[in-house]
Chain A
Amino acid sequence: MIIKTRKEIPSSEITPEAVYRDRRKFLKSSLAVGAGGTGLLTSALNAQTGDALFARAPADINLASKPDWLVEKAAARTEAPASGPFNTDEELTPFDDVSTYNNFYEFGTGKDDPARNARDFSIEPWTVKVEGECAKPGSYSLEDILKPHTFEERVFRLRCVEAWSMVIPWVGFSLGDLLKRFEPTGDANYVQFDTLVDSEQMPAQRSRFATIDWPYQEGLRMDEAMHPLATIATGLYNDILPAQNGAPLRLVVPWKYGFKSIKSIVAIRFTKTMPNNTWRDLQASEYGFYANVNPQVSHPRWSQASERRLPTSLFMPRRIDTMMFNGYADEVASLYDGMDLRRFY
């Protein structure tokens, strides 16, 4: 019998969400007062990341090593706008929950398996292969991929198809800005992504009982991929991504169910026809290609009308109504004009 107990992090080490937000405000105002050039801004932010309020043991990030340049870029991110779709005033899900409650089947089936099994995950070196209908295919290093982009904080709701949700302050930039650099051709109607296959580092890929035919794959229609809300995330809270959250780069498509937001990307492929995506390949009656959050279309296993906002509690549960397109309908509904969303789920 295995009774799982949660490793408790002393409350003194956790940055309360209110403090996290206030720090950002404080930083912004103090910078506004004393601001000179961007150099000052960067160094001030770097100094703040060393602050006890922000600090976490590197072990919490669960990586074999953290590239300095990436850590610096994450620290130098621009703050999320005060309003609009790139931010929300909903309560953030604490880092502890975001980093210990994961579906990342390469690292195991349980929600806490990834945090345990991804502990020494290595993201150095990391290569992303770019293929298919584009003018600049090739193998790109992580630096090639990420260096030209300015990182931003983007606070999004994440809605899992299993009817739970979180609010996460990501660090990243628009996927479209990355894709444009590879100059997709007129035939690039879709883009597909692969997760790393590395059974030495990803123990569940060695399992004989896996239902998934690795690599995990996901795809978007090109207009979805070019939408500014479609995000390449490279970090969350004040740091780079923990391995269990999809280091070193992952997709975040906030208006779609979480399984579309593929983690630890090693391939980007521009295609003419609709590409495979893992869950649809496994069970097309349950998972579609679009997978837009839609409270009116229930999944055979879960009603999608409401969701449990994590962390929730037994006696004061946070069960909230699910919003069409996860609350991003104003921004993305027009992408699906004229489509029957019951058919194209």
Chain B
Amino acid sequence: MSFLAKPAIFLLCLAPGAYLAYAVYLAFTGGENLLGPDPAQFLSLETGEWAIRLLILSLAITPLRYLFNWPVLFRFRRMIGLFAYFYVCMHLLVFLMFLLQWQWGDIGTEIAERPFITIGFAAFIILTPLAATSLNIAQRKLGRNWKRLHRLTYAASILGALHVIWIVRSSYFDAVLYGGVVALLLGYRLLRKYSKAVQQFSLLK
């Protein structure tokens, strides 16, 4: 059954985007309104949340693989990372197209003057070369540098968490959740690098 795992995870990752795309299609054709009275804002929130969730999930693969002695997880890491980038792109596209309506003057101002948008945009820039070098051939050509390059995910996830923390209003919940998980996942890597005990520790033998 394991050959089904990859397509299943692919469909799971795709589902929220497919639903939103369907809702946008209905909005375009004048069908039922699934997006509420402020659709651009709704789409922006949804795509953003899925982007950070999948980014964190891609970051969780390595710790989970070691903690649960579960090497097969590595098979899904690239796909999940690419989906994270897909939702980041959708998030940016919704912002530019639906919230700013391609008003180029405003786009520059928004990116330059709103710190949470600046760091969100920086995360997008950082993730772009990673997505571009995701194919096996790039991995082979880059050799050891591929791994170095892809450590930039750490920076992108920190920026992503800051992006969430910066927009806290009435509740710290999202900030604590996403910030906390990113801190744990990066903290584990640090510990693992310097501690033999952590390297050998596994919940499942």
Query: A residues touching B (Cβ–Cβ < 8 Å)?
Result: 1, 3, 5-6, 8, 93, 97, 100-101, 105, 109, 111-112, 162, 164, 204, 207, 209-212, 298, 300-301, 303, 308, 310-315, 317, 319
Contact partners of B115 in chain A: CB under 8 A: 300
Q: Which of B35-43, B72-80, B145-153, B183-191 contacts A (4 or more CB under 8 A)?
A: B35-43
Is B5 close to A, CB under 8 A?
A: no
CA distance A42 to B97 in the complex (A): 50
B28 touches A314 (CB 8 A): yes
Interface of B is mostly: helix
**Nearest chain-A residue to B28 (Cβ)?**
A315
A303 touches B109 (CB 8 A): yes
Q: Distance (Å) between the CB of B165 and the closest chain A CB?
A: 12
B172 touches A101 (CB 8 A): no
Q: Distance (Å) between the CB of A270 and the closest chain B CB?
A: 28
**Nearest chain-B residue to A312 (Cβ)?**
B38
B32 touches A8 (CB 8 A): yes
Contact partners of B114 in chain A: CB under 8 A: 300-301
Q: Distance (Å) between the CB of A122 and the closest chain B CB?
A: 23
Contact partners of A315 in chain B: CB under 8 A: 27-28
Contact partners of A301 in chain B: CB under 8 A: 114, 116, 167
Considering residues B33, B34, B39, which has the most beta carbons from chain A within 10 angstroms of its beta carbon?
B39
B38 touches A101 (CB 8 A): yes
Contact partners of A6 in chain B: CB under 8 A: 33-34, 36
A308 touches B40 (CB 8 A): yes
B33 touches A317 (CB 8 A): no
Is B11 close to A, CB under 8 A?
A: no
B36 touches A209 (CB 8 A): no
Contact partners of A311 in chain B: CB under 8 A: 37-38
Considering residues B113, B114, B115, which has the most beta carbons from chain A within 10 angstroms of its beta carbon?
B114
Contact partners of A312 in chain B: CB under 8 A: 37-40
Instruction: Knowing that A3-B19, A212-B170 touch, tell me 10 more A-B residue pairs with CB under 8 angstroms.
Output: A207-B173, A209-B172, A211-B168, A211-B169, A300-B114, A301-B114, A303-B109, A303-B110, A314-B35, A315-B28
Is B10 close to A, CB under 8 A?
A: no
Considering residues B24, B43, B171, B176, which has the most beta carbons from chain A within 10 angstroms of its beta carbon?
B171
Q: Mark each residue of chain B from 2 to 28: 1 if its CB lies under 8 Å from any CB of chain A, else 0.
A: 000000000000011001000010011
Is B98 close to A, CB under 8 A?
A: yes
Q: Distance (Å) between the CB of A101 and the closest chain B CB?
A: 5
List residues 110-158 of chain B with CB under 8 A from any CB of chain A.
Answer: 110, 113-116
Contact partners of A8 in chain B: CB under 8 A: 32
Q: How many residues of B sit at the interface, in one of the four size bands? A: 20 to 34
Q: Mark each residue of chain B from 90 to 116: 1 if its CB lies under 8 Å from any CB of chain A, else 0.
A: 000000001001000010011001111
Q: Distance (Å) between the CB of B136 and the closest chain A CB?
A: 30
CA distance A319 to B41 in the complex (A): 13
A313 touches B39 (CB 8 A): yes
A317 touches B34 (CB 8 A): no
CA distance A312 to B36 in the complex (A): 9
Q: Distance (Å) between the CB of B52 and the closest chain A CB?
A: 13
Contact partners of B109 in chain A: CB under 8 A: 303
**Nearest chain-B residue to A166 (Cβ)?**
B37
A105 touches B37 (CB 8 A): no
CA distance A5 to B42 in the complex (A): 12
B41 touches A314 (CB 8 A): no
Contact partners of A162 in chain B: CB under 8 A: 41
B38 touches A317 (CB 8 A): no
Given A210-B171, A303-B106: A1 and B32 interface contact (C-beta under 8 Å)? no
CA distance A335 to B167 in the complex (A): 32
Q: Distance (Å) between the CB of A291 and the closest chain B CB?
A: 15
Q: Distance (Å) between the CB of B186 and the closest chain A CB?
A: 22
CA distance A308 to B40 in the complex (A): 10
A308 touches B35 (CB 8 A): no
A109 touches B169 (CB 8 A): yes
CA distance A112 to B176 in the complex (A): 22
B167 touches A317 (CB 8 A): no
Considering residues A6, A100, A298, which has the most beta carbons from chain B within 10 angstroms of its beta carbon?
A6
CA distance A102 to B119 in the complex (A): 28
Q: Distance (Å) between the CB of B44 and the closest chain A CB?
A: 11
CA distance A208 to B98 in the complex (A): 34
Partner of A310 from the list B38, B110, B168, B172 (CB cut-off 8 Å) is B38
